[in-house]
Amino acid sequence: MSPPARLGVFGDPVEHSRSPVFHNAALRAAGIDASYVKIHVPPEKAAAAFRALPQAGFIGANVTIPHKAAALEAMDEADDYARRSGSVNTVVVQGERLLGFNTDGPGLVRAIREEFSVDLRDLRVILLGAGGGAGRAIAVQCAMESCERLVLVNRTLEKAQALAAELAPSFRSDRLVGPVERLQVIGFEEAALREQLAHADLIINTTSVGMRRTDAPLIPPSLLTPNLMIYDTVYASGRTRLLDDASAVGARCANGLSMLLHQGALSFEIWFDRAAPLDVMRGALMEEEV
């Protein structure tokens, strides 16, 4: 008999989610009598679905598109990072209460360290898609890490400007006396990108642009140079155009699978207050990938 469903991921759609594969492997490896399931919830039912978790005997849950902001609203309590990023991806059931966390930003920090052997806080970051949910979560993480520089790039400029106004206090310091501002906002114009890339180490893509071969490049390939690191949070099979263009010039690059893995491992740590069996989780994810 399979263990009872006591964890799951809420989403709409949710069929694509890879979380059950590595969470179930982790639960088995840790000898925990629970299984992790996909839970399809349309937006109008999200709040009620979160409130039903204690009654259903759940330990907790993950939350994916489009419910992360609604999840924050539904929590009785949320940690500082979840509140600042405006979203929750990890729920803990504590009696009748729901506690919210977000492991996307901390997961990215671990992924960057693993992929490039550097710490996010030491990098000058260009964030593409800073107006979206994932972009905001990563921008807040960069601010909390006080990374060297952060350039918010977004198609809708006002969204990135509003975010920059919120984050500005974290970048007001005399730590870096450099030639350029530590926090800046630009659109996708070539001249502005060229200027900022001259003072950058890492590009993070949080738009979903590039999965289709017909997508126009987010950044003109001629602006990419071998000294850059490129992290694309997209983790669907196949490479984005940005990663193809980056590897063609010899830049170091990685896709979002490592962030997916580490945000999941951090959720496990929050639910069970013990280290996640990371190798088991990675193995399960990679097995599914081939």
Q: Is residue 86 part of the contact set for ligand NAP (CB under 6 A)? A: no
Q: Is residue 104 part of the contact set for ligand NAP (CB under 6 A)? A: yes
Q: Is residue 60 part of the contact set for ligand NAP (CB under 6 A)? A: no
Number of amino acids touching ligand NAP (CB under 6 A): 23
| 148-151-152 Cα angle (round to 5) | 135
Q: Is residue 277 part of the contact set for ligand NAP (CB under 6 A)? A: no
Q: Encoding tokens for residue 170?
A: 């974290």
Please report, as residue ranges, which positions from 233 to 252 form the binding site for ligand NAP (by CB under 6 A): 233-235
Residues 142, 123: Cα–Cα separation, whole Å: 9
Q: Is residue 207 part of the contact set for ligand NAP (CB under 6 A)? A: yes
Do 222 and 244 meet the contact criterion of CB atoms below 8 Å apart? Answer: no
Residue 159 annotated in active site: no
Please report, as residue ranges, which positions from 19 to 48 form the binding site for ligand NAP (by CB under 6 A): none
For residue 128, the SS3 value is strand
Q: Is residue 132 part of the contact set for ligand NAP (CB under 6 A)? A: yes
Pick from 215, 219, 226, 262: which is nearest to 111 by CA? 262
Q: For residue 74, which phi and psi values (nearest 5 degrees)?
A: -80, -10
Q: How far is the CB of 129 from ligand NAP (least distance, A)?
A: 4
Q: Is residue 139 part of the contact set for ligand NAP (CB under 6 A)? A: no
Measure the CA dihedral 19/22/23/27, to 10°.
170
Which residues are annotated as catalytic?
68
Q: Which residues bind ligand NAP (CB under 6 A)?
A: 65, 104, 129, 131-135, 154-156, 159, 206-209, 233-235, 256, 259-260, 263
